């Protein structure tokens, strides 16, 4: 059961996002941003570019007594990526999956192989929906066959359903962690969704397990975007570190100035007491 206090906090957080969507670009919320994108949500972009932040970091003074904290904010900017082949995520209900606890007989395996053969014929004729139907029957008959799920994943890619392909690839990799076809199909699906770093990681594993030209071609498309994201992250982390150092220096100087003011105030108070004491002594002497 969901805690009422947590729900209230979530509601307040969403209200903050509505009033200031740029909050999503805080690095601590990267996991949340990726989750939203996996659901098909469009994360708003920030108009300012990373170049703006770099120039500001290079030109602003290391310390200024009148420095405005609002001008010191550095927010994550979007990276210029090649998203020409990115598709809208498919948000249909999950495809049928077989029951992994079901007993699989030899007849089941034979029937599943027959359905797979029919699917291959449909694929050759460009009838992908029909192929998916045959492969679905196959996984229901033989629900622990990694190759059947991986094969259906490749067909989902052909009909531009990357989320469905990822689900099948995940199941394939559960039954066979060394499934090159599972990594390949999941990597290609993630590339379709613009998940460049994850796509590159999957495709690299696939290439080590069983390299083919299609993997190599896809890596050439994916790796530049993945590298840009990594470079962007490093630059942003550097800028953030600079900001933290500047803030620490500002706080140190402010603390030092406060201590100096306190010391001066104490000195002034001491001098004033001395003056009053001397005046009182002189008055007594005259009396």
CATH of the domain at 135: 1.25.40.10
Q: What is the pLDDT of residue 230?
A: 87
DSSP 34: H
- Report if residue 147 sits inside a domain: yes
Tracing tokens 């969507």 back to the chain, one arrives at 21
- Report if residue 208 sits inside a domain: yes
- Report if residue 134 sits inside a domain: yes
C-alpha atoms less than 13 angstroms from C-alpha of 104 in its C-beta half-sphere? 17
CB-based contact 168:187 (threshold 8 Å): no
Q: 170 vs 55, 141, 181, CA distance in Å?
A: 43, 19, 11
Residue range of the domain that includes 95: 85-235
* Segment 26-52 mean pLDDT: 60
| pLDDT one-digit tens code per residue, 213-260 | 999 999 999 999 999 998 888 877 777 787 888 888 888 888 888 888
The predicted model scores a pTM of 0.60
What percentage of the chain exceeds 70 in pLDDT? 73
C-alpha atoms less than 13 angstroms from C-alpha of 188 in its C-beta half-sphere? 26
User: What dihedral angle (degrees, nearest 10) is formed by the CA atoms of 79, 166, 175, 205?
Assistant: -30
Instruction: Give the span between the Cα atoms of 235 and 17, in whole angstroms.
Output: 25
Gyration radius of the chain over CA positions:
32
Phi, psi of 34 (to 5 degrees): -65, -35
- Report if residue 100 sits inside a domain: yes
- Report if residue 207 sits inside a domain: yes
Instruction: Give the span between the Cα atoms of 115 and 128, in whole angstroms.
Output: 14
Q: What is the number of domains present in the chain?
A: 1
- Report if residue 156 sits inside a domain: yes
| pLDDT one-digit tens code per residue, 73-122 | 444 456 678 888 899 999 899 999 999 999 999 999 999 999 999 999 99
Determine the length of the chain: 287
CB-based contact 163:189 (threshold 8 Å): yes
Instruction: Give the span between the Cα atoms of 176 and 161, in whole angstroms.
Output: 22
- Confidence class for position 275, pLDDT limits 50, 70, 90: low
Query: Cα–chain-centroid distance for residue 58?
Result: 27
């Amino acid at each position: 059961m969901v805690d009422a206090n947590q729900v209230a906090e979530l509601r307040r957080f969403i209200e903050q996002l509505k009033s200031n969507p740029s909050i999503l670009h805080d690095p601590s919320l990267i996991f949340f941003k990726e989750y939203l994108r996996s659901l098909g949500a469009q994360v708003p972009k920030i108009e300012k570019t990373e170049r703006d932040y770099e120039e500001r970091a290079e030109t602003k003074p290391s310390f200024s007594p009148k420095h405005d904290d609002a001008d010191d904010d550095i927010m994550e900017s979007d990276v210029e990526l090649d998203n020409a082949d990115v598709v809208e995520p498919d948000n249909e209900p999950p495809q049928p999956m077989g029951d992994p606890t079901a007993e699989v007989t030899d007849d089941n395996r034979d029937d599943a192989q027959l359905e797979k053969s029919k699917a291959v014929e449909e694929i050759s004729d460009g009838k992908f929906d029909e192929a998916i139907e045959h492969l679905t029957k196959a996984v229901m008959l033989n629900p622990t066959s990694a190759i059947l799920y991986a094969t259906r994943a490749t067909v989902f890619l052909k009909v531009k359903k990357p989320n469905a392909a990822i689900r099948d690839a995940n199941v394939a990799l559960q039954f066979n962690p060394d499934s090159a076809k599972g990594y390949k199909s999941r990597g290609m699906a993630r590339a379709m969704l613009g998940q460049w770093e994850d796509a590159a990681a999957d495709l690299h594993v696939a290439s080590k397990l069983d390299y083919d030209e299609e993997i190599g071609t896809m890596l050439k498309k994916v790796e530049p975007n993945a590298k840009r994201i990594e470079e962007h992250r490093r630059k942003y982390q550097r800028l953030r570190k600079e900001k933290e150092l500047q803030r620490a220096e500002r706080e140190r100087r402010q603390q030092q100035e406060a201590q100096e003011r306190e010391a001066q105030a104490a000195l002034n108070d001491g001098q004033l007491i001395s003056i009053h004491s001397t005046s009182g002594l002189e008055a007594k002497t005259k009396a």
